[in-house]
Chain A
Amino acid sequence: MTPQEQAELLVHALRRVLTDLDTIADGTLDALDPRSWSDEVDELEEYSAPRVGTIRFEPDEGSVAPAINIDVIRGSRRRAQVADVLRRIEEEIDS
């Protein structure tokens, strides 16, 4: 594998962790939204299910992993910033 191919793979991997994760966060709350269950429920208007407000991840006893709030990930402007920087790195690698 050439250095350029390695660099491209690295950028691809960074994108998967840094920006695709936002899509996963969005997809999670979308999948839990009862308004999106029309394929699963015949009469959606009559179906009663709570709408999930937010999801937090908190460390349990003995864990030192930092807490995460899915809303912060979704609401962050960082997604666009990171995507832009990664795109420019890719352009530099290609040039």
Chain B
Amino acid sequence: MNCKQIEKLLPLYVSRDLDTRSERLVTAHVESCTACAATAGEYQRSRDLLQEFAPPAFSEDVYAEIRQNVWRQIGSESTAVSVSELVAGWFRPRVIWAAASALLVAVLVLGIFLIGNRSTPRQKVAVNAPEMNRDGSNRQIAAVPPRDTSTPSPLAPREGVKGPRQVYFRHSERKGDRNRAPDRLNTLVANAPDALPNTSGSPRLGTSSDPDPSPAGDSVKILRMEIQTKDPNIRIIWFAQRDTKPVSHNSKGT
């Protein structure tokens, strides 16, 4: 190794920070090279100066003051932190509030779900069982005396086949039933040879748009009987309570 290479290693050589091989090489070179030995001496002296670089002796009062200031600052910072935390705490979502809100939402959702489930089966029953009589009693079928059916009726089937006269009965049980689906009204057919066939092709038949004469909250059954006369513009509709005289009136058909 030449002097230039050795000179690069000298700063670490004086503190023995070189690896063994490099240190041995530098030692051998310094022993034979006065210039490099002088440089190594300079490094050693500057290092000695550094090691003597002691700070002035600070008195115990200086240290005590430092410690006091530290505790004072810790106290003031903790107070400031506690006040700011207190203020921020009101705006911070708390666990208990979050849990209570979640519980409330869950109860609401469950309540809505249960209410929805209570109404749905009733509707389904009504839709799926249009022919059921609610009170389970036998329906009363009224027979109408036979009459002449020679005149075709516009409500008759288009093929012109004379069929038995059909009488439709509606059972209105409660006032509330009017608002329900028409398929819950029971439509009964009685054979009446003199009556014109009155099929479901008529928009007036089998619907619940007619007013229900039964009083509100009255559980008395009312029979409704419709008879299509030869005149297509005349239809006889009978409303009758059970065990009472039937009330009749005429109405013009469609």
Indicate, yes or no, whether A interacts with B.
no
